[in-house]
Amino acid sequence: MSNKKAYFISDDKLNGFIESLNEKVPVYVPQRFDRADGTGIYTEYRPYGEGEVDLESRTLLSVKSIFLPQCEVILGFTTNEERVDVVSEAPSDERVLFSIRNCDFEAVRRLDLLFGWDYRDEFWFARRENTIIVVNICDSPLDDKCFCHWVGVDPVATELADCVMLRAEGGYIIWRISERGDVIIDVLDKVGADEVDVPEVEAKGFDNAIEVDGSHNALFEIFTDEIWKVLEPSCIGCGICTFVCPTCHCFEIQDEGSKRVRFWDYCTGYEFTRTEAHQPRPRQYQRYRQRVMHKYSYYPRRFGVVGCTGCGRCISACPQNVDIREDIVRLLKRAKVIK
């Protein structure tokens, strides 16, 4: 590696550092917000300054919202006395995405395959290209809901990031990987962060994985199995698991006034594609099957990678305690992939 230098930024200097960086390039960073009912907090990636920086909780929504916003105008009009112009502009301003985990980063890369597949989604790739990525590597799982190691994600991978950061006693160690990361290093220099060595990182605590890679065809075979009907009767068909998921990418497009808007849709809900055409899966178990099969069978069949990166969000956010890991284990047993 060409650059062996790393910087240590202590917790008390972290905000000052992000603020200085934000003056140069807008920074998106996980921040905490109070819940309206006063029972706690949730964290989200938002432009710096909206809330209180919190890099150690699992964000409610994944970084997907940074590349595929929950709603965005993809087409609009401007009018003046002479003419009507159609405007459709992908965003181009550079920004920094600070402190994303490898499950999310990997999810975004797996989605590149999809958004570049039958047509090139210019909005997705404009945002991909204008974003400098700082990965916060996980040398241990955030909690017992993380299972990236089941689905081929390396929690301490550093190669494809622009900069990498690691939690250390009292702060973070940050180092540069690509040229685009220079802007971060410059600011670290400016705010007087201490120089340290690039640490050796070893991931601990990622145990007891069920290897799901390679089981997509076996799962495909049990599409019509009776097990689906009894697998998750408690699923209510809301949008939570798909909205929080970094790899769910379904969207719908509608006109709102003079704007054409694209926004997230979700296969688990009974209204999925129904207002445009019809609902292809009239039963709730079929809709839940779609979510599981898309991730663990169809996606790997088409793109060679599992469409889930084990971030654990759907598990922690599902109000009815649906745990996709339990279901995958049951399905793999049914498909005779594991005992």
Partner 1 sequence: MTEAVNIGEEFRKKARELLRKGEINAVIGYKKSGLPPYSKPHIALKEDDTDEFIFDVNCVHNLVLYVLNYLLEYPEDKVAVLLKGCDQKSLIVLAQESKIDRERVKVIGFGCPGVIDPRKVEGDEEDAHKSLTAENVHDKCLYCDVRNTPQADIFIGEMVDIKPTKERYFREREFYGKKSESELLDFWKGAFSSCIRCYACRQVCPLCYCDICISYRNMPQWIELSPTTDNNMLFHVRRAMCMAGRCIDCGECERVCPVGIPLRLIYNKVSLEIEDKYDGYRAGMDSERKPPLQEYSMADPEDFIL
Binding site for ligand SF4 (CB under 6 A): 107, 235-238, 240-242, 244-250, 266-268, 290-291, 294-295, 308-314, 318, 320, 322, 324
Q: Which residues bind partner 1 (CB under 8 A)?
A: 33, 35-40, 42, 60-61, 70-71, 230, 233-234, 236-240, 243-244, 252, 254, 256, 261, 263, 266, 269, 271, 274-275, 283-284, 315-317, 319-321, 323
Beta-strand runs (E) in the chain: 5-10, 27-34, 41-47, 52-53, 71-79, 84-87, 95-100, 131-137, 163-168, 171-176, 194-197, 251-256, 259-264
The identity of residue 191, as a single letter, is V
Q: Which does 247 bind (CB under 5 to 8 A by kind): ligand SF4, partner 1, none?
A: ligand SF4
Minimum gap (Å) between residue 280 Cβ and partner 1: 16
Rounded Cα–Cα distance for residues 328 and 339 (Å): 13
| CB of 102 closer than 8 Å to CB of 138 | yes
Q: Which does 20 bind (CB under 5 to 8 A by kind): partner 1, ligand SF4, none?
A: none
For residue 72, what is the DSSP state?
Answer: E
Pick 176 or 249: Cβ nearer ligand SF4: 249
Pick 33 or 220: Cβ nearer partner 1: 33
Pick 40 or 224: Cβ nearer partner 1: 40
Pick 87 or 250: Cβ nearer ligand SF4: 250
Q: Which does 36 bind (CB under 5 to 8 A by kind): ligand SF4, partner 1, none?
A: partner 1
| CB of 155 closer than 8 Å to CB of 148 | yes
Pick 26 or 237: Cβ nearer partner 1: 237
Minimum gap (Å) between residue 31 Cβ and partner 1: 13
Q: Which does 19 bind (CB under 5 to 8 A by kind): partner 1, ligand SF4, none?
A: none
Q: Which does 196 bind (CB under 5 to 8 A by kind): partner 1, ligand SF4, none?
A: none
Minimum gap (Å) between residue 229 Cβ and partner 1: 9
Rounded Cα–Cα distance for residues 12 and 132 (Å): 24
Convert 235-302 into a string of H (helix), E (strand) and C (coil): CCCCCHHHHHCCCCCCEEEEEECCEEEEEECCCCCCCCCCCCCCCCCCCHHHHHHHHHHHHHHHHHHH
Minimum gap (Å) between residue 7 Cβ and partner 1: 32
Minimum gap (Å) between residue 72 Cβ and partner 1: 9
Rounded Cα–Cα distance for residues 99 and 226 (Å): 43
Q: Which does 267 bind (CB under 5 to 8 A by kind): partner 1, ligand SF4, none?
A: ligand SF4
CA angle at 56 for the pair 54 and 62, rounded to the nearest 5°? 85
Q: What SS3 class is residue 33?
A: strand
